[in-house]
A and B are shown apart, each in its own frame.
Chain A
Amino acid sequence: MNHPYWVAFSSIVFKEVRRFMRIWQQTLLPPAITMVLYFIIFGNLIGSRVGTMDGFDYMQFIVPGLIMMSVITNSYGNVSSSFFSNKFQKSIEELMVAPVPNWVILLGFVIGGVSRGLACGLIVTALSLWFTDLQVHNIWVTLSVILMTAVVFATAGLINAIFATKFDDVTIVPTFILTPLTYLGGVFYSVSMLPEVWQWVSKLNPILYMVNTFRYGIIGISDIPIFAAYGMLFLFMGALMSWALYLLHTGRGLRS
């Protein structure tokens, strides 16, 4: 694979991976510590009083959601902070003057974000084995949904960074939109426990579909039909990637 685009793509990905590995104390360690606390407090201490959820131990029920939560926040956070830092330091100009097509830039940053998301997901999965037994119900569903979710949120992170003009702008979306949607996305509970109207409202939250499909892949239960989840993931991937490409093409936030 010596095509210039492939070399440029792998250069971007390598740079992104090197960045989050270099600052692992900020990128890989915090999600590990946070998730261990979730396992101890929600899974062990509170979970032992909650009993079972849809026929599974509470710990077994929440682990897929917590893995997914870590993948979502880290895929998003990696691209939004890295791309914005590149903009802020003007080092994005290194890419803008080079003969790298916009779709290569997009894919490079997205795969960089996906790499960190999956690395964190893997760390959290490994840590969860201290607290519960994990048996994968459907490996293909598990892998495909986590990969597609990481791609969706890494792309969303890039769009956030393109619009951002200051560092506050890359923290607003995760704090006020991503975290609430994740908590309300069925990580800690089954939506079937909610009154019917709130079940309907919950189904407007795309993260609910991702969490439930991943949970289906791990333990074989889901509150929603998994094909609907795949449909939504494809829709989001297509829409967000098209939007990001359009923004890169117009030079929004990059070229005056």
Chain B
Amino acid sequence: MTKALEIKQLRKVYDNGFEALKGIDLDVEQGDFFALLGPNGAGKSTTLGIVSSLVNKGSGTVRVCGHDLDTERERVKRSLGVVPQEFNFNTFEKVEDILIQQAGYYGLRPRLARQRAEKYLKQLDLWDKRDVQSRMLSGGMKRRLMIARALVHEPRMLILDEPTAGVDIEIRRSMWRFLTQLNAEGTTIILTTHYLEEAESLCRNIAIINHGEIIAQAPTKELLKGKQRATFVADVRGTLSEAPALEGLSSRLVDEHSIEFDLTNGQSLNRVFALFEQAGLDVVSIRPKTNRLEELFVDLTTPSQQEATA
């Protein structure tokens, strides 16, 4: 089957000499929910900018839904919906006008454009704001407006560059539900995010980019399976003055009621509870210190961590 996105040896050097991409390869299957993760300045936005025709590429090839970016740019653009990181609409235009205008750029006649605008504004809970100037919207509404605008021509693939940045948890979760539904209906979704629990819960496949190179690409589950160590925090009854000696378990005192310990692959929580019992500790609760993807991300992208785990 034709891939939704195929990137081969993509390079980009900006005019100031900064090498943003060092020949990356990236494949995204049709219908996938894919996350491109990386620290700030890693090359995520440059990659998506090139695919969206907002950044000139250096060398390499990009194909979207089988169409070559160099020779079939218009077809590539028709296949794509783009939600950029920064707000990029005319703040003096009304919400509905922004969508109808964008539909017009894709060749949708006014009647169909109005129907689509109504459909997506309703789906994204913005219909009652249709006559409001976009500058009057809240941050979360502006994000949803950009998603509605990107969908108005009903693209096969949606690119979202940090779609939930700066929105509250309730709106973020409603956006997750909307995107999950959209993906279930067949739209390929590629997103970048700094909320790693977002990528872990939404995306089936993940690529991690750092310093312009793809350093990991695999199904989310496989990536997490490869995670060798997880850190947990246990809250105990009573007061502790130092970390207890637990055989075969690396533990640290967090405060007088909490202990942090590392669990490597192959170690079971049952054994941990047994060790706590042997030490006379009454465990009240236990939780992961951070989410697993976040730990993996830090392991892969932080130099000191890379050296420590090497």
Binding site for B on A (CB under 8 A): 2-5, 7-8, 10-12, 14-15, 18, 22, 85-86, 89-91, 93-101, 251, 255-256
A96 and B54 alpha carbons, distance in the complex (Å): 7
Q: Mark B76-102, 1 if CB is under 8 A from A, else 0.
A: 011010101011111110000100011
A99 and B75 alpha carbons, distance in the complex (Å): 7
Q: Given A11-B105, A97-B53, A98-B105, 4 other A-B contacts at CB below 8 A?
A: A4-B106, A8-B104, A11-B104, A256-B15
B74 on the A face (CB < 8 A): yes
Q: How far is the CB of B81 from the nearest CB of chain A, in Å? A: 8
- Across the interface, name the chain B residue whose C-beta is closest to A86: B90
A99 and B84 alpha carbons, distance in the complex (Å): 17
- Across the interface, name the chain A residue whose C-beta is closest to B107: A4
Contacts of A96 in B (CB 8 A): 53-54
The interface size of chain B toward A, counting residues with CB under 8 Å, comes to 33
Say whether B54 contacts A7, CB under 8 Å. no
A228 and B12 alpha carbons, distance in the complex (Å): 48
Say whether A255 contacts B54, CB under 8 Å. yes
B56 on the A face (CB < 8 A): yes
Say whether A8 contacts B89, CB under 8 Å. no
Contacts of A85 in B (CB 8 A): 90
Q: Among A22, A97, A256, which residue has the most Cβ atoms of chain B within 10 A?
A: A97
Say whether B54 contacts A93, CB under 8 Å. yes
Contacts of B149 in A (CB 8 A): 94
Closest 9 CB pairs of A and B: A4-B107, A11-B104, A98-B105, A90-B88, A99-B74, A99-B77, A91-B90, A97-B82, A7-B107
Say whether A11 contacts B101, CB under 8 Å. yes
What are 15 A-B contacts with C-beta separation under 8 Å?
Answer: A3-B107, A7-B104, A8-B104, A22-B92, A89-B91, A91-B90, A94-B89, A94-B105, A97-B82, A98-B102, A98-B106, A99-B105, A255-B56, A256-B49, A256-B55
- Across the interface, name the chain A residue whose C-beta is closest to B86: A90
Say whether A99 contacts B101, CB under 8 Å. no
Contacts of A95 in B (CB 8 A): 105
Say whether A8 contacts B53, CB under 8 Å. no
Contacts of B77 in A (CB 8 A): 97-99
- Across the interface, name the chain B residue whose C-beta is closest to A4: B107
- Across the interface, name the chain B residue whose C-beta is closest to A2: B109
B14 on the A face (CB < 8 A): yes
A187 and B80 alpha carbons, distance in the complex (Å): 51
Given contacts A93-B88, A98-B77, contact A256 B14 (CB under 8 A): yes
A99 and B77 alpha carbons, distance in the complex (Å): 5
Contacts of A91 in B (CB 8 A): 88-90
Q: How far is the CB of B53 from the nearest CB of chain A, in Å? A: 6
A12 and B75 alpha carbons, distance in the complex (Å): 20
Say whether A7 contacts B82, CB under 8 Å. no
Given contacts A89-B91, A93-B84, A99-B74, contact A15 B101 (CB under 8 A): yes
A218 and B84 alpha carbons, distance in the complex (Å): 52
B52 on the A face (CB < 8 A): yes
Given contacts A97-B53, A98-B102, contact A7 B88 (CB under 8 A): no
A99 and B82 alpha carbons, distance in the complex (Å): 13
Say whether A251 contacts B107, CB under 8 Å. no
Q: How far is the CB of A61 from the nearest CB of chain B, in Å? A: 41
Say whether A99 contacts B90, CB under 8 Å. no
A86 and B82 alpha carbons, distance in the complex (Å): 17
- Across the interface, name the chain B residue whose C-beta is closest to A3: B107
Contacts of A14 in B (CB 8 A): 104
B179 on the A face (CB < 8 A): no
A22 and B133 alpha carbons, distance in the complex (Å): 13
B108 on the A face (CB < 8 A): yes
Contacts of B78 in A (CB 8 A): 99
A90 and B49 alpha carbons, distance in the complex (Å): 13
A210 and B54 alpha carbons, distance in the complex (Å): 39
A18 and B74 alpha carbons, distance in the complex (Å): 27
Q: How far is the CB of A8 from the nearest CB of chain B, in Å? A: 5
A256 and B101 alpha carbons, distance in the complex (Å): 25
Q: How far is the CB of B24 from the nearest CB of chain A, in Å? A: 18
Contacts of B92 in A (CB 8 A): 22
